Structure formats: structure tokens, C-alpha cells
Structure 1
């Protein structure tokens, strides 16, 4: 099959942080959904400390696209080469390089280069791909810079936690309740509105109004990737509440010989500059961590209990 002309995008950013810190953020692709705004989910399929194969779901120009990425890591040169296999149209081929160059004073230069071809090389398609590369590259580099420059402070901003419940009922019914989030208004007390679309099987986009404990309402938008055969739904908020800079998570339905364990896992990065604006002038990061942990934990526990009731009630009826 013929390959069209090669198009190139190059983006760089100066980072006031050590090159090793910046390289580490680029190298750990499994954390990209939490750190990079366009990335929804990354599954590491293979890794031998140098070569890896990743399945990636990424928002490009407002649409969720997925592909397999093969990467070669070189920590000595602080260089990562990658290429997409089975890319989605209109992309025909795409490969590129991340490089981190040390600069004087403990700073570094991070550069992302992409070369791509487009099926048929139609100008509109070339412009679409270039726009996606430009938008996502800028978002990724800006966020790496932001994270790396507050690296020592990041542990105070990040938190992860999970809740679980045991269910005496079929795993399929538990998953069904979690999957049909469009039915949650009227069933889940804190969800006052939820608009769900699923233009591609297993890829859901949600816009949701959530009531908080103090009676106020905030609007979020999310992408969910559903794996029915594995009993998993991973999710990422693409529009977050003011206090939250990033939020990813997963629902897992885990059957065993005596029942089902359902787990809700969350990872969050706080937006530090919003703490006093949102919680008041005396609030600090500890207050924000506690507030977010309680709010998300309460909502997750509510959904878990309702999924449990949904599955167990069906068994009692039968």
C-alpha cells in the first residue's frame, strides 16, 4: 500500500527541573492518563525494560481514538522512540521521538517530534492530524513542565484510594448496573443529570451533574472505556471540579467461588491554586485531600451498594 508524503510536527518546552525527573514522567506511560490531559487510558501489553507495547486511548480533536504504540526507551540518552501500529484513519503511519536534553543550572529541554502520513494525503485530513498533534503535544509538554517543576511537592497533591463491596449475586448484573450509567439519575442520589453517548462500542462519553454534601452541584465530563469480558470500566474526567486537576479511576468486578468483589479505585491530583478559592481562606492541602477523599468515597460507596442491591435483588426474585 503506498505511503504518502511525510508531515512533521516539533514541539519543545524548557523545564526548570532535572532531566531525570522529566524523563521519568515521559517513560512511565501507565501514569499518562493522570498526568496528560488528552490521554484517557493506557494498558501496558508488553515491557522488557527497553521495549514496550502499549494500547492507548486518547482524545484527539474532541474524539476518542485508540491505537497500539511500540516504544523503545533509552534512559542513558534520555530518548524514547515510538511508532503507532494499526492507527485509526485518517492516520496512515505515525512515529516520533521524545528527547530530554540537560541544560545548565539543573534545567532541561523537552522535545516531542512526530512524523506522520495520512491516507490519500487529503489537505483536510492532513490539517486534522496536524491540529490534533499540535493541541495534544502542547497539552502534554505543558503538563510535564508543570508536574516536573513541583515534583517534590507532588506527593502532597496526589492521592489514590479504593472502596470495595462483596456481592452475593452474578457478576454480570453488577457490571450491567455500572455499565448503564445513563440510568443513574433517579437511582443514584447524588446524580441529578447524566447524558451518555456511546458512538463506538465500549467507549462512553458522559456529562454529569453531581450534588455534593453541602447541596451544591458541579458539572463534570468523563470518558469511560468498558471491558465487559474482563469486568472492568476505566474512566477519566475530562472536565473536572475546580478543586481537582486530574481524576482517573476504575470499576472492577471480580468473581470468585463464593461471590463477587466489586472495587472502585480513584487517583486524583489536586489543583493547589483552587484550595482557598473553593474551601475558604483557612483551607490547606490537608483539608482539600480530606474533602476530595470524603466526597468521592461517599459517591463511590453509594454506587457500589446500589450495584450490590441490583444484583442480589434479582437473585431473590428468581
Structure 2
């Protein structure tokens, strides 16, 4: 019986940012869907102040998959240790650490250490797994390094908000309407085209053609993960609105004794380079933020209104039976 070899890798990036900034980027998983291109959704499951456990939905090799992770956070030493629970074959174990060190005032190094074992130590499997891990590490480090160097204005580029509607009716038809995004053209005012593919139950890739304020059509593409038992659909725009670098969020249907509250949450990261190109020379970020809030808010309300109507029609149909 062969002993599985532990494959170790180390990658680092230097950034013009304080150590605390880089540590926060790896310690706080909440904004990862905006920061990491392949991450669609992250949800913390447990946290006791030092150790946490979270699920992460990310696209790997073109397929969206969930994974479970356990971490130990050491803010004092700027270090986060991590280990994957039940990794996907042929990987039998995967873990490592993030660490941050100061190089000079205002300059820091973020290092990612990884250790991986592969079942059977087969050369083809090892090479494929390590190549994927190497590519992913370099991509993530490059992204985090670039974000860290914008730390003084990062807050002004990020925006989170919600739109909601109260519906007197059952939750099931509302969730069904949100799930069946392919039926939105002709029902949702700004949506003129929709293509939906489902990789497996509850995991969708969508392509919507929408009309902007100027009457011109634009296309957005999204990955969606649906949790019907919880009344939730999380999403990330793979091709977001032209003003945005990243856009993620969630639809949630929250029932109570008299009806449901339907909430659409948006988390966005503005694309600095696109602001003047899209909105004109000299446009300030504050105006761009207001514009994005208005556009996405209006589109959300335009989707919630037919969802409300669909629920009413469903109730009437049931009563007529």
C-alpha cells in the first residue's frame, strides 16, 4: 500500500497596503463573492471567536461546486489556518495557511501556503490537481493584492442594499416564479430575453437580455444556487451591469402567519474604470453609487411586482378548484 505524498506549495504577493488590510481580506469571508472571481457564495456556519466553519460555492474547471472549510483565525499574528472537510476525489486532504508580514511602512506581503494529498499518487492526477491549485492561488493572490492597494477607497466602491415586498399569499408560488427565471421575458418589464441551463438540480446558469434607461439592450450572465427548502436563491453575475466589477446577492422568501416577505439583496463592487466611460467625464463615485442603487433597485421592484401577481393568480386558481 503506497503512502500518500504531501505536496506543498507556497505563493506570495506584495502590496502597498498595511498588514491589517491584507489580513482582513482573507479573514472576512463575507465579501469574497465580490473579491474572488470564481466564488459565487460563502456562508459562515459556525464561529466561536477563534475558529470558524463555512461553506463556499465556487466554480472550478467550469463546474460550480460546494466545499466545506474549517479555519483558525489569529488576528494578533496575522495568520489564518484552514483545512477542507471531505475534499473531492482524487484529493484526500487539502489545507494550509494565509499569513501577512510587514515589509516596510505601508508595504506588506501576503503568503499562501498549501498542502495537498492525492489518492494513489498517480502522476496524471497529481499534476492536474497541483496545476489547478497553482492557477487558483496565483489568481486569488493577484486579486487580493490589487484590492488591498485600493484600501483607502474600497469602501466607497462597495455597496449593499435590499428591496422587499409584502405578499398576502403562500411562499411556494413566489419561490417558483423566482426560480423559473426563463419565464421572465414578457412578465418582467425590463427583461426581453432569457436563456437558462441547469447543471444539476438547483444550480443554474442564466443569460438575461435587459433594456437600460436609454432603451438599449444589455446582457448579463449569472450563476445561481437555489435552496428551495430555505426559500433562498443566491446569485452572482458572471457578466454584470456595465458599471460594475462584481455583483452578487440573494432572493429570499420569508413566510409568516399572514403571508410572505420577499427580499432581494444586492452586493456590488463598482468598476472605477467604467464610471467615466459609461456616465461621462468627471462623474464622481457618489453619483455612480446612486445610479447603480436606482437601476438595480428599480429592476428588483420590477421583478417583485409580477412575483406578487403570480402568487395572487396561483391562490385564485387553487380557490377555483
Number of the residue aligned with 2:316: 316
Instruction: Please give the secondary structure, in 2, of the residue aligned with 1:30.
Output: coil
Number of the residue aligned with 2:164: 164
Q: State the Cα deviation string for residues 133-154 of structure 1 (Å, max 9, x = none).
A: 2332223212222222121212
Number of the residue aligned with 2:224: 224
- Going from structure 1 to structure 2, the CA distance change for 1:221 and 1:128 (only over 3 Å counts) comes to farther
Aligned pairs for 1:241-260 (under 5 A) are 241-260=241-260
Number of the residue aligned with 1:238: 238
> Hey, what's the Cα distance between the residues in 2 that align with 1:60 and 1:131?
12
Instruction: Please give the secondary structure, in 1, of the residue aligned with 2:71.
Output: strand
- Going from structure 1 to structure 2, the CA distance change for 1:223 and 1:120 (only over 3 Å counts) comes to farther
For structure 1, the 5+ residue unaligned runs are: none
CA contact (8 A) 2:186 2:192 kept: yes
Number of the residue aligned with 1:289: 289
CA contact (8 A) 2:69 2:84 kept: yes
- Going from structure 1 to structure 2, the CA distance change for 1:118 and 1:186 (only over 3 Å counts) comes to farther
Aligned pairs for 1:139-218 (under 5 A) are 139-218=139-218
Matched, 1:70 2:42: no
Q: How much is the aligned-residue C-alpha RMSD, in angstroms?
A: 1.7
Number of the residue aligned with 2:52: 52
CA contact (8 A) 2:225 2:233 kept: yes
Paired positions, count: 318
TM-score by length of 1: 0.94
> Hey, what's the Cα distance between the residues in 2 that align with 1:314 and 1:144?
47
Q: State the Cα deviation string for residues 258-317 of structure 1 (Å, max 9, x = none).
A: 111000110111011111111111322122112211111111101111111111111123
CA contact (8 A) 2:2 2:120 kept: no
Instruction: Please give the secondary structure, in 2, of the residue aligned with 1:134.
Output: helix
CA contact (8 A) 1:38 1:139 kept: no
CA contact (8 A) 1:190 1:210 kept: yes
For structure 2, the 5+ residue unaligned runs are: none
> Hey, what's the Cα distance between the residues in 2 that align with 1:2 and 1:28?
39
- Going from structure 1 to structure 2, the CA distance change for 1:60 and 1:174 (only over 3 Å counts) comes to same
TM-score by length of 2: 0.94
Shift of the alpha carbon at 1:129?
2.5
Instruction: Please give the secondary structure, in 2, of the residue aligned with 1:257.
Output: coil
CA contact (8 A) 1:202 1:227 kept: yes
